[in-house]
Amino acid sequence: MHRKEKRGARRKARELSLQVLFQLDTGARDQTPEEAFSLFCHSFNAPPEARNYAWELVVGVRQNLDALDVELNRASEHWRLDRMSLVDRNILRLALYEMRFLPDVPLKVSLNEAIDLGKKYGTEESGAFINGVLDHIHHQLASAPPTASGNGDASAG
């Protein structure tokens, strides 16, 4: 897969994973991630090239939900996670998961993709809000020494 195709597939995967995470965060709490993912892929003809990465994101966010939420609560001054819109909260979780656990995704790519998702699926203020929270985290990560699970600014996407 060429780099541009990979980028497009990853963008679609982020959208798909956001929609599944949103579904799980709403009234579908009795639904497993597998059920929500399968239902969404089937109902909306999710592109096959996006499914693997989308599933990786859904599983990663769900498995690390508590740690991600703690970090997001610390980074979002004057905003508790439970008071954020469901869309913004799940975009932030998704981006932070990429920033923390997927070293092949540059920090700036995660940040910019999250802002774009916020503009597309959130409110008028979502892009700026997401930018503020993730930029704070980005600066912390960029100035921290690299770790095994850390993430740098290599050029993948």
* Residue ranges of domains in the chain, CATH in brackets: 3-143 (1.10.940.10)
> Is the distance from CB of 3 to CB of 157 less than 8 angstroms?
yes
pLDDT of residue 153: 45
pLDDT of residue 86: 94
Name, in order, each residue with C-beta under 8 angstroms of 142's C-beta and a sequence gap of 6 or more.
Answer: 107, 153
Torsion sign across C-alpha atoms 66, 34, 90, 17: positive
Name, in order, each residue with C-beta under 8 angstroms of 21's C-beta and a sequence gap of 6 or more.
Answer: 58, 61, 62, 90, 93, 94
- pLDDT higher than threshold 60 for residue 151: no
pLDDT category of residue 140 using cuts at 50, 70 and 90: confident
Looking at this protein, which amino acid is placed at residue 96?
L
- pLDDT higher than threshold 50 for residue 64: yes
pLDDT in tens, 84-113: 899 999 999 999 999 999 999 999 999 999
Helices (H), the chain: 3-25, 33-43, 48-63, 65-75, 86-101, 107-121, 126-143
pLDDT category of residue 154 using cuts at 50, 70 and 90: very low
For the chain, the residue count is 157
4 class by beta-carbon count within 10 Å (0-12 exposed, 13-18 middle, 19+ buried): exposed
